[in-house]
Structure 1
């Protein structure tokens, strides 16, 4: 906190501040850059270290967080990421009711080796066995846990920030004009198909530049591949990570198209942010993205050729692209509301505290 990187951080900030405002005591366990104050937006922050290695960072930090929580005995715990499931028995031994947000299908990410993939598959089953409730942020994720484990989950999507106008001054400072560039915002991972965005764009006859926002903490090889694909094409620009949230919003809102290649998550916060900014979305064709966008609020691609055609169509008819962006903003404002999301989490936590949700709620029948 404050949230800067990733959907979980954003969700915890948006949900936590609303629960704190409603009078609940909220403790958030943080890693990384330390906020200078012990509280933020009404939430108590506890900063703990982590082992700075891909395979150990999450679990080491959560282990310390669980030990700290053991002294405080909260009424309920929310654990984000099924990878933390091996630590759930500690919370259960302490009789702290827990709900696990299972996230997306992490084992499908190529950054994990065979061992990593097996770990994540096992962690999913452990989350089912040891959680009092599971949280799914997409219907596709809910269906996956039903079909694979016979387990039920509480469906709670994310919210979308809604922007009504573009900060043209921010865009001008960055060297861009509204409607005069295409945008990608993603971690540099193969499952986010940044390579396909570059391939499709370069195959097109696009006149407007492609702006790529993102980085890769553990993927130097993939980053090198992306730069090789871009070659010396002057139309392709890598901005790196953009931590200025006002500038990032201006980029979303000012883009002619936003190319969304994410394929293995649930309801993706970057997609919701683009929709809330009124961006015209070109999304990789998977069930998660179709669930969020519906049939009218975006266009879908599955390969470089179809993406190239969609980019060319947007440049040929920017008015139609802008209309789709308006439809996306309307859909986000109606279906992905943070106040509703926080209210759902409040009901969940009360149910956990009152023991209306137990391990039998999610475990498959023997």
Structure 2
């Protein structure tokens, strides 16, 4: 497994997926190697997964690609010494220019293409062109593409005429949460609205803050999150909040028990993510039974359906949804129950891991190759 920060999962959706999938593949009898960057785990193994720590260039532009370059070189060298992998799972289409290194050693490759990264405002014209090109290279050089949302599948079909394997994420189903943690943080169940997001424009934290501030809500808005390389946007969000005493910024919360308690205790969880596929934060909120008000894009509608959430597209509609939830908290709680039920039925890590196992077996047996990704060009 190549292309992420690795495990134990401390950062994002890819890392959580590797944690959950990798441990289950080990339990099924497979040998799993995870390439890691960042904080080093004290052991060479984690939940049975072999860890390989390699450095990276510390910059927004080069960090992921530099680490992946070292990782694919290491995996290729292991192949030379006859200890190499049967299959490589590469996460993030941005790593596609490095796939020929694996292909040269006849290592079958599946690329998890992630979301539409080129739509993120943090990338300049050059960065966007790179990501668009990388998508094309992923189609050309992968033996299989992995999409975690039907909307991503549709995008690759329409743009490239390419088939992909649909495998969503799993959701943690939280029957109980640490209410003492919530009390220690100064909050009561049902008495606040919540945002959890990296501070990036496409996650619409600014819209959540602006919409809430326009509302007549009496329960506070709790904002969890931050982002590297986003000082200007963070300043914009704080300026929109102004001196409104109802809006509280907590910064990053790395205590998972507290974060789960915040999800479970929120009257509403305001989810503004718009360019990814199946978003792990949304699944965690649903698994905690949060009543979700989500930005109105196809990815979020796909995950929530029509019964398990409400949607907003601008500040006015968000303000309306917040006020409606405060006027009828019972209905909001019912939507949270429906969301948990939907997550428990549709987003199951055991099923996800089984799908990855089947994918790897198909790659190893050469039932999936570049020829099976049908392309227009």
TM-score category (smaller protein): over 0.9
Task: Give unmatched runs, 5+ long, in structure 1.
Answer: none
Per the TM alignment, residue 165 of structure 1 is displaced from its structure 2 partner at its CA by 2.5
- 2:173–2:287: 8 Å Cα contact kept in structure 1? yes
In structure 2, distance between residues paired with 1:253 and 1:225: 28
Match of 2:65 in 1: 59
Match of 1:255 in 2: 266
Per the TM alignment, residue 235 of structure 1 is displaced from its structure 2 partner at its CA by 1.1
Which stretches of structure 1, 4 residues or longer, exceed 6 Å deviation after superposition? none
1:125 equivalent to 2:136? Answer yes
Number of residues of Structure 1 aligned to a counterpart in Structure 2: 366
Match of 1:211 in 2: 222
Match of 1:35 in 2: 41
In structure 2, distance between residues paired with 1:336 and 1:319: 25
In structure 2, distance between residues paired with 1:365 and 1:145: 11
Per the TM alignment, residue 365 of structure 1 is displaced from its structure 2 partner at its CA by 4.7
1:101 equivalent to 2:81? Answer no
Match of 2:291 in 1: 280
- 1:129–1:363: 8 Å Cα contact kept in structure 2? no
| TM-score normalised according to structure 2 size | 0.96
1:342 equivalent to 2:353? Answer yes
Match of 2:28 in 1: 22
Task: Give unmatched runs, 5+ long, in structure 2.
Answer: 1-6, 79-83
Match of 2:54 in 1: 48
Alignment equivalent of 1:235, drawn from 229, 246, 258? 246
- 2:13–2:280: 8 Å Cα contact kept in structure 1? yes
Alignment equivalent of 1:169, drawn from 180, 187, 193? 180
SS in 2 for 1:84: helix
Per the TM alignment, residue 4 of structure 1 is displaced from its structure 2 partner at its CA by 1.3
Match of 1:331 in 2: 342
SS in 2 for 1:29: strand
Match of 1:198 in 2: 209
Render the CA deviation track for 1:279-331: whole Å, top value 9, x for unaligned: 00000000000000000000000000000000001011100000000000000
Mapping of residues 79-98 of structure 1, within 5 Å = 79-98=90-109
In structure 1, distance between residues paired with 2:325 and 2:363: 48
Render the CA deviation track for 1:94-118: whole Å, top value 9, x for unaligned: 1000000000000000000000000
| TM-score normalised according to structure 1 size | 0.99
Match of 1:184 in 2: 195
- 1:128–1:363: 8 Å Cα contact kept in structure 2? no
SS in 1 for 2:234: helix
